[in-house]
Structure 1
Amino acid sequence: MEIKEKLKQEEELLIKVFKLEKFIKKYKKQIIAGVIIAAAVLVGNAIYGYIQQQKLISSNNAFDVLMKNPNDKEALEKVKVNEKLYQVYLLQSNKIENLKKITAPELKAIAAYKIAMLKGDKQSLENYLLNPDYKILKDPVRVALIKIYLKDGNRKKAEELYAQISPNSQFAPIAKFLLHYGVAK
């Protein structure tokens, strides 16, 4: 019995091998083409990834050069290739026209904060505070407004702004100091 089962299993195995061989012969060109295409895709992806990595390295190196020498036009052009890095470079600027060019959502609030602080006028600072899109850096803007209101003699408005600053904020002691001692004109 055992020998018959073994022979039957070997026979089934041989049948499967012959079917596989027949399948391979029938679809030989398609199989080879599929393997070549898969290899080409893998090699292409590897090359593309390498090129992208080299572009990132080049733009990062150019960014370092640009931080040391802001007048380097060649480095600036290399940084412009990487849009996100260029946005960070613009954020480093203290020029309002450069800060207005920032479109990255992650940096837009910081750029708006810098613009408001650079302008330093009451309207710009209040607009920043009232904008619901800007959720960060509200307390330093409040401190700047407190200083402006105290200079203008509007202590009540300065106290209202102070009440909006969280007691745990690092800006609370500064605001309290300004309210306590006032601002010299």
Structure 2
Amino acid sequence: MKVAVVALAMASSLAAHAQSQDSQGAWRVMHEAVFDRPGMPSTATQEERDIVKFLWAREFAAREQTHTGPMSAYSLVGDVREGTKRIVFSMFASGDDPSCDAAPNGADANDIFVRCRMRVSSWPPSGAPAAALPGYCMIFAASETNSRIEYRYDSGSQTVQFRTIQFGKVVPNCSRSLKLD
């Protein structure tokens, strides 16, 4: 899969940086940003939270209002950097947002992930629209279940790989890769 919007501007500089940033090809955990849900902590930095609010501004504005305020929202965010150049990967879910497919429900359901769109964007924004890619697995409230979404960048192939860890085990049908060229 090609993401030309991001790739043309970033591919060559990311390859050199990724080698120095992550020479072992180690998996990195996507940070969780939680909005309007008291008592549920975020692992995202304030900068990451601000980026998510910008990249998903339309979805934030469209959230349903409840008697206590806007409906809760959850996002996962990760990035690959080269100096001041940066590619950001993010997913967004809110109870009233139809862009995610719900996790199975019922007595026989074992999976806790939902499938959502992932947005891929250069940061700061270059004026080009973010790429929106469907079908990526997303887990939120992950710290309670030994579950998470991880990614790593392979500078040789200029590919970002994503994997889902659910209850401490890799979910093979959630593994995805994204080529940046």
Give the structure with higher Rg (CA): 1
Q: TM-score, normalised by structure 1?
A: 0.19
**Greater fraction strand:** 2
In proportion to residue count, which structure has more helix?
Answer: 1
